[in-house]
Amino acid sequence: MSNTLTKYNSINLDSRISDGFLFWCSRTPSAIALNVDGKDYTYQEVFAKSLQIYSEIKQINEGFIGLQCVYEIETYAAILAISYIGSAYLPLNIKLPKEKIIGIVNDANITTVLCFNKDFDFIKDSTTAKIIYSGRNEKAGNIVLECKDNSELAYILYTSGSTGNPKGVPVSRKNINTFFKYYLNEYDFNSNDRFLQPYEVSFDVSVFSIFCAWNVGAAVYVVPDSKSKHIEIIKVIDEHKITVSSFVPGVLNLIEKYLDEFSFPFLRYSFFSGDSLNNSLAKKWKKCLPIGVIHNFYGPTETTIVCTRYIWNEEDSDIESRNNIVPIGKPFPLINFVVISDEEKIISEVDIEGELCLEGLQVIDSYLNKSNEENFIKLNSIRYYKTGDRVSMNARGNLVFHGRLDSQVKIHGYRIELAEVENAINKSCGKINKVIVESKNGLNYLVAVVQSDIKLDLQTQLESLIPSYMIPASFIFIKQLPLGINGKIDIKQLKEIAKLTI
Amino acid sequence: MEITKRIEKVLRSVFEDENIVLSKATSANDIAAWDSLMHMTVIDAIEQEFAVTFSFNEVSKFNTIGDIIDCIERKQ
């Protein structure tokens, strides 16, 4: 198209994440950069807002700043402003319990939190952090932007940590710019694209949605916060003719019954990450995308958003999916990986499961405060991040995800894969479910938590699908599986429910 | 029983909360336990109660209980 401009190609490993935005702001100031809270903002308007916030924080010399997440332009402009002064942002989500937020502020030793309202005032009572209230409605006047470099970090995120203790993950400019370079080389994103932004800013995939768009002069459409976010996601894709979407696979479960009503002729790329992609649902979703392709990504926060990719197509995925779960594919070119056994020996054969370990420019050097060093391992004198995820490599060289390391268990001497049991339950009744392990008197047993209004007798059907030792000892039927704020099933809450019920 | 009362009964059962009182203006924001997954359960339960099926286009316009009532009335 005639108004398509060439992409921004000047990303260096030490670029600030705002550099692409500033480039496009000077080239196409009146193009739409952001749609949030029902309103369009041009690059110039977002810049003006960011400049105002910059004027309020430019004296700060801290390596990172806590940032209150709100569903308004302020949070987005503040990420830019924090980047102008060369600091990292550490998003704080009001949806977390207060104690958790206080825990993060104390653990990271945050000295300044940038806020837009009084919701975070409780931080002042329990921590030494100072709050800066960004003034709304003030004009920036004649402020001159002088970018500086307080830190080599881009952002710090706290992962919920399936074991319970949140860990600070500091992602450097080197990490994130390696990630951006991959996308700008691999994809033909351009200034006509419209990116979907369905994530909380405290979830790292938001960095993809926001900054891949702003690195090519495209527009970001923020999905409104809602009690039916899956519906809002579809509405935004449809109403704003989204061309690049990324959302967690769980959304497909929630909209499954409507999938044959949809067609999204503008959607070019449909990306998934954050959880396992169900192959049957991917097939139904593909029918809604006349020109769109489905790419399935995988990556822990520690390896910067995502770092492996599988290009989905029906024929290959039918063969390669295991337990109806689409493979996670091959690592990005600058990521090195090994799969290791329980004895920490490198596995080179195909189809043998082990723990995935990753290394490369996208992998963080260490956690904040050098905590959790046990999550790193030196193999052949190279330092790898141990993902805690169990994978195998198939004959086509694609990685296949089998679950978390702790999702494979031994029951009465048999090795059982929880995903296989979950898949069998799903086949027998069509219900979403999660299988967890409980133990009593030193013996492990399986508990299936099934989302269903009524009690179901699944025993007979399961006997025809899986060996008897794989059939859960106990079934719990609940109206809804608990979800964490990122839309993933909350295992911790699930275990508590199981404890109360059994 | 009027439609509002029947929906109220459905929601009391889904959320296991006998204190839920609905008016046409009630929205998901008024019920703390209402989230994405609950939304699906609520819609399924209302469809069962009234023996109707809602399209996505209809569901996407449900902002209040009043919107749901209007839609059911149109279908009956």
The alpha carbon dihedral of B57, B60, B64, B68 has a sign of positive
Q: Which of A259, A480, A497 to mutate to test the interface with B (most CBs of B within 10 A)?
A: A480
Distance from CA of A451 to the nearest CA of B (A): 10
Residue A105 maps to a domain: yes
Q: What residue ranges define each of the domains in chain B, with the CATH number in brackets?
A: 3-75 (1.10.1200.10)
Written as one letter, the residue type at A221 is Y
Residue A239 maps to a domain: no
DSSP string, A470-485: GS-SEEEEES---B-T
Ordered per-residue pLDDT tens for chain A, 502 residues: 434 455 566 789 999 999 999 999 999 999 999 999 999 999 999 999 999 999 999 999 999 999 999 999 999 999 999 999 999 999 999 888 888 899 999 999 999 999 999 999 999 999 999 999 997 556 666 788 999 999 999 999 998 654 456 789 999 999 999 999 999 999 999 999 999 999 999 999 999 999 999 999 999 999 999 989 999 999 999 999 999 999 999 899 889 999 999 999 999 999 999 989 999 999 999 999 999 999 999 999 999 999 999 999 999 999 999 989 999 999 999 999 999 999 999 999 999 999 999 999 999 999 998 888 999 999 999 999 999 999 999 999 999 998 888 777 777 767 788 888 998 999 899 888 999 888 776 677 899 999 988 899 998 889 888 888 889 989 999 988 888 777 778 888 888 888 877 6
DSSP state, A275? S
The residue from A129, A151, A173 where one domain ends is A151
Residue A470 maps to a domain: yes
Q: Which residue of B has its CA nearest to A486?
A: B36
Distance from CA of A35 to the nearest CA of B (A): 20
DSSP string, B20-61: ----TT--GGGSTT--HHHHHHHHHHHHHHHT----HHHHTT
Block residue for tokens 């020109």: A291
Count up the domains in chain A and report the number.
Answer: 2
DSSP string, A171-191: EEHHHHHHHHHHHHHH----T
Chain B CB contacts of A453 under 8 Å are 14, 41, 45
A116's CB contacts (< 8 A; 6+ apart) are: A68, A70, A72, A74, A75, A78, A133, A134, A136
The residue from A135, A151, A167 where one domain ends is A151
Q: Does A453 touch chain B (CB under 8 A)?
A: yes
B15's CB contacts (< 8 A; 6+ apart) are: B31, B33, B34, B38
CB A107 within 8 A of CB A368: yes
Distance CA B76, CA B67 (A): 15
* Domain containing residue A473: CATH number: 3.30.300.30
CB contact under 8 A, A451 and B28: no
CB A134 within 8 A of CB A78: yes
CB B59 within 8 A of CB B17: no
Residue A163 maps to a domain: no
Chain A CB contacts of B57 under 8 Å are 261
Distance from CA of B63 to the nearest CA of A (A): 10
Q: Does A239 touch chain B (CB under 8 A)?
A: no
The residue from A99, A133, A151 where one domain ends is A151
Q: Which residue of A has its CA nearest to B30?
A: A227
CB contact under 8 A, A261 and B55: yes
CA A163, chain centre distance (Å): 18
Residue A423 maps to a domain: yes
Residue A173 maps to a domain: no
* Domain containing residue A80: CATH number: 3.40.50.980
Chain B CB contacts of A229 under 8 Å are 36
Among the partner residues A227, A230, A480, nearest to B29 by beta-carbon distance: A227
CB A11 within 8 A of CB A177: yes
Residue A184 maps to a domain: no
CB contact under 8 A, B36 and A487: yes
Residue A139 maps to a domain: yes
Find, among B66, B73, B74, the residue nearest to B24 by Cα: B66
Supply the ipTM of this predicted assembly: 0.92
What's the domain range around A139? 12-22+43-151
DSSP state, A24? H
DSSP state, A436? E
| Helix or strand (DSSP H, E) at A133 | strand A130-133
A vs B, Cβ pairs < 8 A, gives 51
